[in-house]
Structures are given as C-alpha cells and as structure tokens.
Structure 1
Amino acid sequence: MDWTQVILDKFPRKAIYLIKDEDSILENEEMRLVLRENGIAVIDYSDPVHFRFVYESDYRNKFSGTLIIRLLECNFEKIPWDVHANSFKLTIGLNDIFPHLNREAVIEIDPQHWQQLFEIQTNSVKQMNYENTKRIIETIYSSIIEDKKRQPQVKINDEVDLSIFKKSKKIFSDWGLISQIIGKQRLLETSNTEFENLVNESNQEFQEFITNDFDKGQSMTAFKQPNYVNQIASFMERNVNRTGKRQALIVMDGMSFTQWALIERWLITKGILTKTNSTIAWIPSITSVSRQAIFSGKRPDEFEQSITTTAKETHHWKAFWKSHGFESTEVKYQRGLGHRTYQDEYLEFKYNQTKIYGCVIDVIDEFMHGARQGLVTVQSELNIWLNRGYLEAMLHELIDLNYDVYITSDHGNIEAVGIGQIQQGVLATGRGQRVRIYDDEVLRNSTHDFHKETTMKWNSSTLPKSYLPLIAREKNAFSIKNDIIMTHGGTHIEEVFIPFVTVLKKDEL
C-alpha cells in the first residue's frame, strides 16, 4: 500500500472538503499527482478575493468532481458561508500516515522517503517515541546510501547526474531539477550531441506534461518557493512579514538556466553564494505576459488591458505593495539597467525610505536577440558583462544595506531554427519569433490547420479569452528558413522553467 492512499481514502465521495493541512501533506507533489489522477482538485484559501474569483470562475457550477479547499493560516469559519455550509471539514497531518511513529521525528525526514518509512511502520503495533523513530529513519538513510553505491548512475559528465531524465511520471519539481541540470551541463560542455538528443527527447515528454498540467499546477502553494512567476511578489510579502527586512527583486530579462549556471559560477568566485530553485514562466513565454505577471502578482487574465505592453509594470508593482500596507514612497521600480557602468547608474534602492525594490536588468535579452552565433555568442557576451562588475557591485551593496535579495527571470531562451514566416499581414495581433497572437479563434485555428506539423494551439484558462497564442513546436521559429536564432515565446522546457534565486548572507551560510 502507498502512503498516499491513506490520504486519498479521506475523500470517498464527490463533495467539497475544507482541509486544515497541519503538516503540508497536500503540498507534496506526489500527493497532488495522485489527487489529480483521481479527479480531485485542490485550491488554497488565503486571500478571500482571489479565492472567490477562482471559485466562481473555475468551480461553481462547472466542476462535478471532488474539490479540496486547503486552508492557509485560517480557521474553518473564515470560509464564505455558502461554501462552508455545503462542505465537509477535516484536519489531516502526519499522524494519519504514521500513527505509530513520533511526529516530531517524522517531520525531519525528507518527504521523498515517506514511502520507505510507511512500509516499515506497518509492521509496528505499538507507539514509538522520538528516539526509536529516529533510529528507523537513520536505517532508511543508511540503506539509501548503500543502494547508491551499488547502482550505477547514468552520466555524461562526472559532475552532472542525468538519471532524473529517465524517471517515469515526472512531477513539477522533477522538471525544475532537469532544467537546472541542463544549464549546468551546458556550462561544463558547450557541445555534446548525446546530451542535446537527451534534452530533445525530454522536451517532447515535457510538452505533454505542460499542456496537461500548466493550469492545474497553479493550485500549488508558494510557501517554500514561488512555483509560478506571479507568486514571487506574494512570496516576498510573506518574507518581509517574517524577517522585517527590506526586499529586493532583480529580474534578469531572458535568463535561462544556461545563463544562470555561468552567473552562479562567476558569483562564487566573488564570494557571493546563492540558493537556486526553479519557477515557471507564464506561457506564452514573452516579456509582456510573464514579466508583467511578476510585477503585478497576478495571472494574465487579471491584467487583460495591458497584456501587450510592459508600460504598466511600475503601476502594478506599487499597487501590489500598497495593497499590503506599504506607502508609494517606500516602493521603487526601475528597468533598463545594466548598460552603464555601475558607478554611473542611478539606483533607487539606496534611498533610506526604500523598503521594497524591484528592477529589470535586460542585458541578457539584448545579447540573445543580437546573437549571430547562437548560444555561444550569448554566453561570451554575458561573461564579458559579468567581468565589468555591475552585478557584483549591486549585490554587495544590497547586502550591505540589509536587503533580502532575490534574482529571477521572466522567461528562458532556446537556439531555434527558422521554418519561414506566416504571411498574414495584420491578421495576427502579435507576431513573435516563437508565438503569434490572435484575437479570433477561427483565424487562429485555420492558421494552425495550414501548419499542423510546426505549430500548436495554446489554450489556458489563465489568459484573456481574446488572447489566443499559436506557438511554434519543438525548436522551430517563425523566421527565415534554416536561420539559427536565439529566441523565446514557446513552451520548450528551457523557455518555461527559469531560475528563482535567493542571495545568501553570511548568517545564512
């Protein structure tokens, strides 16, 4: 029996369940996968306005399955009465899965090992104390180490373990790890046919995953890290409540894990250490959609009027923080940074009154769109830029001013091959190299019908109804046939999964 079955059995009928999830069990991706496979949806309740929007839009009178409403930092009575009155109320925790083990000890084990622990505890008939439970956990870790010694790892480079690529039924965290590995491998070996074939095969698998799970994954909570870029601002807001420190967000426009691998290695040589996670760019992976989602903290269907421009980013950023109690003078936003020497740059995070700082450094995006030799050009120019010391100086100064500093991107990039342009004049409202946007579904569909082998329709409930993307498949681009270009806008794993980085301070090392 699987431990997930214990939790699954708590939802025997099609109904609404209000759940107090004391040990974040429903945050576990393996559990979420099992729930989805059984037709059970999960949404989190924290902000009542956002909950009402999601509930009315996606579930009331539209969903006939089982719905779990997971309460975040609130009690059952905080739920709107019409939902509260028609739902079951449950509290779940680790004691449900491990009734014979000490909860405080179980909390310390990584959830990926819960199944081994679950199988061991089924042989127990009496309650174990903390020390006995810890002995069992230590036995599990010892057996894992021995297994790793016996099992050969699939490797192309001694520094990168690629076995995750072969895992079946991958979940979001697996794809995030794969994206990080791609960047690291590219840094170690700039040209490796075997590895590139592996990336292409994985991306084909990823296309099915992201098509099915992009919308569903937005129910994942962002307590430990923002899963989607629109959760970054909320993640920072919770952090400022926890630490009371000034917050800074640096968006490196267009940065994929391949560029981050180079930046990370370079920062280490300068004594700046970081913690790297992944987050998900919005699709289509273009600046006006995904970067606007970062600074607004919203889904694209919530900023429909400005979805084609970045001009409202200052307004979005200030409005978000104002709604959480900050004065306009305490919140700063800057863009177009990184082109001058650091000493000549006018930077508003230096003001004493600044508490929240967001900025865009767009040099990588510029390198990408001007790259004549593809990825090699981007990496070379990025290395030159890093050696000029701009980023190093900015990070050191932010740390000295006691900011909590985060670095992210709005989308990644790929080396794509031109398949020719679609000649439609002004019929498409947006014409990128990897995506074309239509406001008429008939036109979008007919265009797809003429180019079925090279395009895909992207449909998402998170986009405005009149915003209809047609995306180039694989590594194709709507550009001169056979031209190799660096670009973005599609659903390739290297465009969608991007870095979310915490800059570490000395007391966090």
Structure 2
Amino acid sequence: MSAWIDRIVREFPSELSRFWIACDPDLVLLDTHVLQALRERGFELLSFDDSIAFRAEYEDRFRSAWDKGLKTPADALILHLASNGSDQLPWDYQRQARFVRLGLADIFQKLSYPALRDIGPEHYERLFEAHQAHATQVLGDAATKDFILTHVFKMAPILIDDETAFWRELLRLHLRGEILPASLAGRIAATLKAKPSFAQLPVKRLFEDRAYALRALQGSWRDYLTIAGASLAKMKGETSSVEEQFVIPFDHPDIRMGIDTLFLEGALTPVQCASLPADFPSWARVGIAKDSSGQAQLVAEIATNVAESLPSQDASHRDWFALARRLGELLHQYFGLPADLADAVAQDVRQAQDAADDRLQDWLRRHFADLPSLAAANGPVMLHHVPRYLTYRRGKGYARQALLLFDGLSIDQWCQLRRRLTERMSTIEIEEGACFAWLPSLTSVSRQTVFSGLKPREFASSIDTTSKEPSLWAKFWQEAGLRKNEVAYLKGIKHRDQLPTIEQLVADPAIKVAGIVVDMVDEIVHGATLGKRGIASQIENWCDTGFVEQLIELLINQGFEIHLTSDHGNVDAVGIGRLNQGVLSELRGERVRIYRSDDLAASVPENLETERFDLPGLPTDFLPVYPKGRGAFTGAGDQIVAHGGMSVEELIVPFIRISSKSLNDEK
C-alpha cells in the first residue's frame, strides 16, 4: 500500500462504524486506487448526488439489512459529499453516521491551496509522495505550481530554453494523454514570456488544449512536407483548411519520436502526397499516407504493438481509454484494406483484440464497481456522468449544448466519421475522448443512463425499454435549473430529409439543451451479413450522403457546442449455441442474457461456456450471463455482429467534443 492510500484509509477505522459521511470538497476519495483500497477493506462508497436515489439505494441495500441483522453487500457504507457542509443531509443520516472531513489544505500543509484546487484526484498520489519527500518549507502560489509541474507532470518550465525543448515537453505531455490545468499552463506561459523565442507562441493554449495542439502539429507537418519538397495531393471532397502553423524542428531526434507515436496512434493524420523528392527523409514517411500494401504492413505492426503494451491490472481508466482509441484506429485502418491484404494480417489483428479483451475483463472485475463514483469534471468516466458534464460545460460559458448519441457506434466507426469530418469541415475543432458504457452493453440499459444521469438500478422499472428517455432527459435538466421548454429530445434520426425537422427545433432560441439519437449505425449493425468489414463499407456509403457533416454544421451554426457519444459499440462474434429457454430469460441478446433470479441464471446449460459478472449498479433482480470471449448465443459457428458483452469494442465508447474554431478562439 502506498503512503497516500494509507493516509486516506486510516481515516476510516472499520471497527468504529458501519455508516460514514465523508465531507470531501476536493474529491480526495474519488480515485481508483483509493476506492479499491477502501473496497478491499469492506467499504462501499455512494455519492450523494441525488437525495432520492441515494435514499432508495441506502434503504434497499443497507439499512433494512442492518435492522434485520442480515449481511449487506459491504461491511460499511461511505456517503460521499462533495462539499464541506453536511447541513443538507437528512437528520437520521447525521445521527447514525460517523463524520470524516477531508481537504487538500489539511493534507498538503506546505503547498498553496488555491494552486492545488485545479489538479484532479488522479494526481494526488504522486503529489503526496513528492510533498513528503521534497516539500521542506511552506510554498507560495507560484512556487506550488512549479512544484506540481516538476513532481507530478515532470516538467520544469525554467529549463525550457529553446524551441526544441519546448516542443519536446509539449509532445511528452500530450503523448501521455494528460490534461494540464489552465492555471499550470498559465504558469508555464508566464515563465517563458520573457524569452524572445517564445514571444509569438500561444504557450498557454498549446499546453492546456490538446485538440488545439494537435491541430497546430498537423498544420505544421503539412508545411514541413512542403518545405521538404513533397507535392501534397488534393483529396476528393477535401475543403481548404486553415490550420495553425509553427516552425517545429521535426528533424530533431527528440521530436521525431513523439511525432512517430502520434501518427501510429491516429492522433495525427498521414498526408496524401502526389510525389516525394529523392532525398526525402525515410523517418518522415510515417506521416505520409501509404499505398495498400504499405498500409497492411503498418496494420500488422500496430497490432503487435497493441498486444504488447496493454494496461496493467493497476492501470487507470484513462489508460484503457487510450488503449481503446489505439485499437479503434487499428481496426479502422484494417477494415479499410482490400480483402486479400486484410486476410494476410487478420491473425495479427485478432490476437490484439483477444489479448485486449482478456486483459480488460480481468481489470473490470477488480475496478468496474468503482468507476460510477469517479469524478468527471474533465470528462465523463461512464455514460451516466454525461448530463452532469454538460451542466459543467454550460457553467463554463457554452450555454447551448447538443448531445448527439449515435446508437451502436464503436470507436473504430467513429474514426470513419472523424476522417470525413476533418476532410470536409475546416471550421470545426474536434477533441477526442472515451468513456465506459454500462454493463450489460444493451441499448435499453446503457442508453438510458446517458439521458437520465442515473445508474441502471435507479430506473429499474424501465430498464427493458427506452420509452422513458424523453421524460428522464427533461427531468434531469429541470432539476438542473432549466425550464421544460428549454430542453429538446429527438430519436429515430437517420437521413438528410430529417434535417429540416432538427433545424426547426434547434432554431428556437429558447432551446438550451438538445438530445438527439441517431439510429443509422445500429440499424446497419443489426442488418449486417458481412461482419464489421461490411458495416464499414455501409457507413462509408452513408457518409457519402453528407448527412453527418450537415447535421454538425446545422448545430454549429445555431451556436451549439456538440458532444457526440454512443451507448455501446459492436463486435464480430461467433455462435456457441442457442439458448432455447422460453420465458426464463427476460432480455435476450446475442451477447448477453438477463435473468431475474440466481436459480434462473444457473439454468444455462453447462455445455455452453458462459460467465457471470454482477454489478452493484444494476437492479438486484437483474442478473446478466455472458458467453465467454467473443461468443454469441446463436447457432454454433454462426458469424454475426452483436453487442451486449464486455469486449473493448463494445464497452469503451467515443466521447467527442465538436465546436466552432472561431468560438473557441474567442473564448
């Protein structure tokens, strides 16, 4: 156990109480390692976000069992309050519980509290170790920021003395996928502003805004290729794009390494070139679009790299998001290959998929139960966090929010959409992220979490239908302070001829939040006969209609910031045998079956390879049974595309911010 975890868990002596109230305004407890340590000691944490939802879960799972002397799901319960004040809590909670107050100012006594507030819980462990080892005196605000940059983000602004060092540090930050808080980015800018070589660089924005930094790298790369003598090709349908361009020393070995990785992971897009000079540097070919045979070789290399660099059992959810994006980019490139070349590398790709799925499932059994409670200010960790994250964005000045839910869209299929958007829309900015869907990854379960902001057990009465989504969406936003006429919801959107209906709805200036379900991908998936490769081809044809970019443009023109996500992905699966159980199973999907009691769940024939994975966020009488691996409850050997299970492709879905470049520049 680390010193940080020991420092936190010792606040909760298990023998003193079975019910605790943690006043935690700085979200100290909302870290996967801390939550895991508490869970291993018999504690379960529930956030007090909704008093009614908390009361229902507390009464059902804990208090009634305590009163009857029965065993509870955990030995002790922690009510997590994201504030210092407990006056809002019911009197019976306060009477029964033992209080703990946690705050960064008390834990990091030698650091400036205002400088600490911007960093997230995922950094507290590293900061605590550094604080214990290196903080020898009380530090002011500026010195605390330097301390955090040095010991947490491994950056020393005072040592950035030339452009090579600047771009090297910037690449290292964005390669790690870390988010640098605005205050720390501002500290770097303040340190560098006196140096002439950085006077024209937007230092703060490059460090705090990954989407902007990648856009600058992409534009500068195109400029570098031109200077190097390459003749750039004009792609069909591509619009002229005005990217930020800077003089970057791409030839320097330290910069090459970072650029190479960004291209391989899909963060940067290789450029189509009509011709290259004879002396064109070989290392730079990673950023040149390849012919089909070269692309197939690259796919095999990426697949091997993915299989050999999987997150560990102690990895964070952010590590899995990064892996899912790499795997999605790999599959996007794989499905784009001609069939004969794809067959040649199919085994490499399948090995990467299987290795990732096996590792993820082991990780889920250890960590999934903690994900619903994690902080989501920097982006949702799970789909039920999405509405609250949108309220956070509204508070940041983005008053009009549009949530586009592309039903059934996996990350590899998002990569298709992204490529088309970046080719055809030069005026938008795309910031890519990911989040976890709910298990089982069925529409009626996972999609409802997006529009309700609730965990599945909190909408148990409608868990087998999506008919309640409009009212759940409206209810969330009314509780967040909006009026009913300021909230919109549409579903069943597929084609261009529906765009006028959407435009008429969102043109109303009263509408502040719009939730729109785009069903086309899910429809394609359920009708698929040629696997995910065939789906990729059909999505390409759908994109050719211009629907996606016209929908985005429509919403951007009406002043909306757009967040695009999915309720689940999809996966190529192989039948292990049919389950002919009549009405024993309540919900019957190819990748999961739902039963209402342990006896019914145990009725699955022993000759079928299945597994159970029960979660506290599901209703107590909602018991999923999954086929192992990439199996499906269909005829043995049948090849299908399905969802409902816990593969990387099904469970980790895109979460994308799309906004106007001009609006972001103004802000």
Same fold per TM (> 0.5)?
yes
Distance 2:547 2:310 in 1: 36
Matched, 1:101 2:80: no
Structure 1 pair 73/242, CA: closer, same or farther in 2 (3 Å)?
A: farther
Verify the 8 A CA contact 2:571 2:642 in the aligned structure 1: yes
Matched, 1:80 2:90: yes
CA-to-partner distance for each residue in 1:418-463, whole Å, 9 max, x for gaps?
A: 2232223444333221122334542331215342xx2223433433
Report the secondary structure of 2:87's partner residue.
helix
Q: Which amino acid aligns with 2:643?
A: H
CA-to-partner distance for each residue in 1:57-111, whole Å, 9 max, x for gaps?
A: 3333236645433222461222222221333434323344433333444556676
The answer for the alignment partner of 2:415 in structure 1 is: 261
- Measured after TM superposition, the shift of residue 13 of structure 1 is 4.0
Structure 1 pair 448/56, CA: closer, same or farther in 2 (3 Å)?
A: farther
> Which blocks of at least 5 consecutive residues in structure 1 are unaligned?
none
> Which blocks of at least 5 consecutive residues in structure 2 are unaligned?
67-71, 157-167, 177-253, 266-304, 336-341
Structure 1 pair 493/138, CA: closer, same or farther in 2 (3 Å)?
A: closer
The answer for the alignment partner of 2:45 in structure 1 is: 42
CA-to-partner distance for each residue in 1:198-257, whole Å, 9 max, x for gaps?
A: 331231132233244433432224333333222322333444455371222111000111
Distance 1:137 1:426 in 2: 58
Distance 1:104 1:164 in 2: 37
Verify the 8 A CA contact 2:560 2:659 in the aligned structure 1: no
Number of residue pairs the alignment of both structures matches: 505
Distance 2:513 2:477 in 1: 8
The answer for the alignment partner of 1:353 in structure 2 is: 510
The answer for the alignment partner of 2:99 in structure 1 is: 89
The correspondence of residues 402-413 of structure 1 with structure 2, limited to 5 A, is 402-413=559-570
The answer for the alignment partner of 1:172 in structure 2 is: 317
The correspondence of residues 29-428 of structure 1 with structure 2, limited to 5 A, is 29-60=32-63, 61=66, 62=72, 65-73=75-83, 75-107=85-117, 114-121=124-131, 122-140=133-151, 141-142=154-155, 159-160=264-265, 162=306, 165-190=310-335, 191=342, 192=345, 193-241=347-395, 243=397, 245-269=399-423, 270-271=425-426, 272-341=428-497, 345-347=501-503, 348-428=505-585
* TM score, norm. by length of structure 2: 0.68
- Measured after TM superposition, the shift of residue 374 of structure 1 is 1.2
Quick one: which of 446, 457, 463 aligns to 2:612? 457
Structure 1 pair 94/253, CA: closer, same or farther in 2 (3 Å)?
A: same
Q: Which amino acid aligns with 1:497?
A: I
The answer for the alignment partner of 1:27 in structure 2 is: 30
Report the secondary structure of 1:333's partner residue.
strand
Moved more, 136-145 or 220-229: 136-145
Structure 1 pair 96/323, CA: closer, same or farther in 2 (3 Å)?
A: closer
Distance 1:133 1:73 in 2: 24
The answer for the alignment partner of 2:299 in structure 1 is: none
Matched, 1:11 2:17: no
Larger radius of gyration: 2
Structure 1 pair 246/178, CA: closer, same or farther in 2 (3 Å)?
A: same
Q: Which amino acid aligns with 2:323?
A: I
Moved more, 407-416 or 71-80: 71-80
Report the secondary structure of 2:530's partner residue.
coil
% same residue? 30
Structure 1 pair 107/356, CA: closer, same or farther in 2 (3 Å)?
A: closer
Give the aligned CA root-mean-square deviation in angstroms.
Answer: 3.3
Structure 1 pair 54/224, CA: closer, same or farther in 2 (3 Å)?
A: farther
Verify the 8 A CA contact 2:486 2:512 in the aligned structure 1: yes
Distance 2:627 2:596 in 1: 18
Moved more, 456-465 or 407-416: 456-465
Report the secondary structure of 1:125's partner residue.
coil
Verify the 8 A CA contact 1:6 1:96 in the aligned structure 2: no
The answer for the alignment partner of 1:490 in structure 2 is: 645
Q: Which amino acid aligns with 2:581?
A: Q
Distance 1:116 1:290 in 2: 34
Distance 2:451 2:57 in 1: 20
Q: Which amino acid aligns with 1:364?
A: V
- Measured after TM superposition, the shift of residue 132 of structure 1 is 3.9
Distance 1:354 1:102 in 2: 41
The answer for the alignment partner of 2:198 in structure 1 is: none
Distance 1:230 1:109 in 2: 23
Give the structure, 1 or 2, with the largest relative contact order (CA under 8 Å, sep 6 or more): 1
Distance 1:481 1:115 in 2: 49
**Higher percent of residues as strand:** 1
Matched, 1:474 2:629: yes
Structure 1 pair 128/333, CA: closer, same or farther in 2 (3 Å)?
A: closer
Q: Which amino acid aligns with 1:56?
A: E
Moved more, 297-306 or 47-56: 297-306
* TM score, norm. by length of structure 1: 0.87
